[in-house]
Structure 1
Amino acid sequence: MRAIALLGAMMLISLSSEALAETPSRQALHALDEQAGALSRLHTVLVAVNGEIVHEIHQGGPGVAVPANVKSLSKTVLAAITGAALEAGVVETLDQPLVELLGSRVPEGVDPQVEDITLEHLLAMQSGLERTSGAHYSAWVASPDWVAYALSQPFVDEPGGRMLYSTGSSHLLSAALTEASGESTHALAQRLLAVPLDIAIPSWPRDPQGIYFGGNDMQLSPRALVDIGELYRHDGVVNGERILPEGYVEDSWTPRGRSPWTGDGYGLGWFVTTLAGVPAYYGRGYGGQALYVIPERAMTVVITSDPNPPSPGGQFQQQLNRLVANVLMHSGQGNTPK
């Protein structure tokens, strides 16, 4: 895999990337193989150190180089698309009110508080609107207009308040990007993310109005997800070109709220946690899809799993966290990869 170039020192890291790059030991990778093998739902695990993939596991699913449904990990990818749109001038600022961008897509009679929702609120899951995920999901995706339905939900908090994990918020963001650019979210993803990273982002489902699903059902290969993780690890720069605005990664990894299920912080499309005593940032999706970036170890880890129901839920996600934590615990310089 091509290495992604780093311009300047990586923010959040005080030491050089070379000093921090710790290749997992043979023993750690052998243990990872065994632990992954015990999880029948798990499809792939990729470990990259300093931009180079040092270990791949493929025990099910399409494979490490073939696009697969990453479910709600799409929200992290959408955050990258939004950052790229900001850098390209498609949107002016994350403080922009949502209604300015949606225009006539805002239905009549919605709560006036909708005018206070910004793009940042959507990225951080702080719209204040009742969630359209969980028990509310089926009714939302069965509605004739997903944007109108999401905006018509009652407010259960103020915009900018507590984290309310909702795919409806991500879909409103996709609609806003579409209206702001005059392009589809898929076209933006191709132009602003896929081309500079040299990855494939195939088309994915759309709502009844043709808006690409914001926050679910995107198709990316595990190797493409490594490249997205590396883009963030390098502060939004790839091959000398700035793709994400300066400071966007730091903002993305700064918690605005906390998950009520795990207690992990949530920034702009990324969860914030600590694994094996090391700060880690991750996106996740239904059924066991995950992208981890651990800057202090110059490491990116991708995991994909069977996306079909039923999901094993939070317990499985904790098992994936332990897989990554175990790799971090048994990493050290001078080890030769398997």
Structure 2
Amino acid sequence: MHRRSLLAAPLLLLTPRLARAQGATPEIPSAPEARAAPAEALAPILDRAAALEPLRTVLVMKDGRRLIARSYRGASPERPANIKSASKSILAMLAGIAIDRGVLEGTDQKIAPLLEADLPDDPDPRLHAITLGHLLSMQAGLERTSGPHYGAWIASRNWVRAALDRPFVDAPGGQMLYSTGSSHLVSAILTRASGRSTLALARDWLGPIEGFSIASWERDPQGLYFGGNQMAMTPASLLAFAECTRNGGRNRAGRQVIPQEWIAQCWQVRTRSRFTGDGYGYGWFTRDIAGVTTHYGWGYGGQMLYVVPARGMSLVMTSDAGAPAGRTGHRDELHRLAGEIVAALG
């Protein structure tokens, strides 16, 4: 697609593996205009959520107002946290802005010419069929660099070349193969096409979002910023980003920061996760939460951003980044918590 075409379940608490947390920080009504009634409705839900041992922060906005922020176990909504793969949702928006500004041609643009210097010596011909859209939707067809292959991949001397040198396990455009290697290639493409670092682009292009700031971001051995992982920002900053997408890409002052049509493209289901069955677009998952279509980003350990357009809601949750959230069940507990919040606010 070229530039011109851009257009609950109740929370299950006190399960055997959950321990009651001590000293949860009281909720913070962070905006003077925040309404008392919704905050009061959320308070008992967030009190019970303290039983989720890995949980660190929960922030909720509705209709442009930050209603409540709750911290647990010494965390703070104003202290940077590693948002892990939730940063893929941010990276996807940068790709759309690049298309809108003419830095990239569109989602049908082939990636091989942009990454020619890092192609294998005898490349599989299918590499020339991979498009930017395939990378964003995790449908490149290349063997995943995530999961059991992750350690070896980041131990390599050139992450871009190593990602491109993976064997094909499906044709480009086939099944979803969730791979941080694919999102890192997007970061490399943004840098090669623009002549600027991905961090510089993020600070420039997303900087007009009030409260948005990237505190730190890891780089690969060649100095490219890690596409789709190891990005630190405050939970409040992540909420500001989520709210901008909910508001059609406009900041609080009404300035169009992210093309509205691109947000719709990112939220359009193109494939599905083989692990959860949830839909996936460009850097965002989609599922029903409390009976309402919800778009979300998910990072290792339980770093979550949720956008519920029909309810005018944005939510952020951060968790201990040291343990997986999928196989432990913590991710599902966060989905249930989100469902309780959505249902309570109507």
TM-score, normalised by the number of residues in structure 1: 0.87
Check the 8 A contact 1:24/1:328 in 2, yes or no: no
Q: Which consecutive unaligned segments of at least 5 residues does structure 2 have?
A: 1-6, 8-34
CA distance in structure 2 between the aligned counterparts of 1:27 and 1:243, rounded to whole angstroms: 33
1:191 — aligned with what? 204
- Alignment match of 1:97 (pick from 110, 123, 137): 110
Within the alignment, does 1:230 sit opposite 2:230 as a pair?
no
1:57 — aligned with what? 70
Residues 114-136 of structure 1 show CA distances to partners (whole Å, capped at 9, x for unaligned) of 11111111110010100000001
1:240 — aligned with what? 254
Within the alignment, does 1:218 sit opposite 2:231 as a pair?
yes
Q: Which has the higher contact order (CA 8 A, sep 6+)?
A: 1
Displacement, 1:25?
4.1
Residues 128-157 of structure 1 show CA distances to partners (whole Å, capped at 9, x for unaligned) of 100000001011001111111111111111
State, as a whole percentage, how many aligned pairs show the same letter.
47
SS of 1:101's equivalent in the other structure is: coil
Structural mapping, 1:75-224, within 5 Å: 75-224=88-237
Report how many residues are paired: 312
**1:169 corresponds to which letter in structure 2?**
S
2:265 — aligned with what? 251
Displacement, 1:219?
0.8
- Cα 1:94–1:28 shift into 2, 3 Å: same
Q: Which consecutive unaligned segments of at least 5 residues does structure 1 have?
A: 1-10, 12-21, 333-338
Displacement, 1:310?
5.5
Check the 8 A contact 1:35/1:323 in 2, yes or no: no
Residues 261-292 of structure 1 show CA distances to partners (whole Å, capped at 9, x for unaligned) of 11100011110100111110000001110000
CA distance in structure 2 between the aligned counterparts of 1:186 and 1:233, rounded to whole angstroms: 23
1:3 — aligned with what? none
* Greater CA drift, 222-231 or 243-252: 243-252
* Greater CA drift, 290-299 or 233-242: 233-242
1:308 — aligned with what? 322
Check the 8 A contact 1:233/1:298 in 2, yes or no: yes
SS of 2:314's equivalent in the other structure is: strand
Check the 8 A contact 1:24/1:330 in 2, yes or no: no
SS of 1:330's equivalent in the other structure is: helix
C-alpha root-mean-square deviation of aligned residues, in Å?
1.9
- Cα 1:24–1:260 shift into 2, 3 Å: farther
Residues 288-310 of structure 1 show CA distances to partners (whole Å, capped at 9, x for unaligned) of 10000001110000000110136
**1:244 corresponds to which letter in structure 2?**
I
Check the 8 A contact 1:24/1:331 in 2, yes or no: no
Check the 8 A contact 2:78/2:234 in 1, yes or no: yes
**1:146 corresponds to which letter in structure 2?**
W
* Greater CA drift, 273-282 or 306-315: 306-315
Displacement, 1:246?
3.8
CA distance in structure 2 between the aligned counterparts of 1:42 and 1:57, rounded to whole angstroms: 10
Displacement, 1:56?
0.7
CA distance in structure 1 between the aligned counterparts of 2:74 and 2:198, rounded to whole angstroms: 26
Displacement, 1:102?
1.8
- Cα 1:66–1:84 shift into 2, 3 Å: farther
1:19 — aligned with what? none
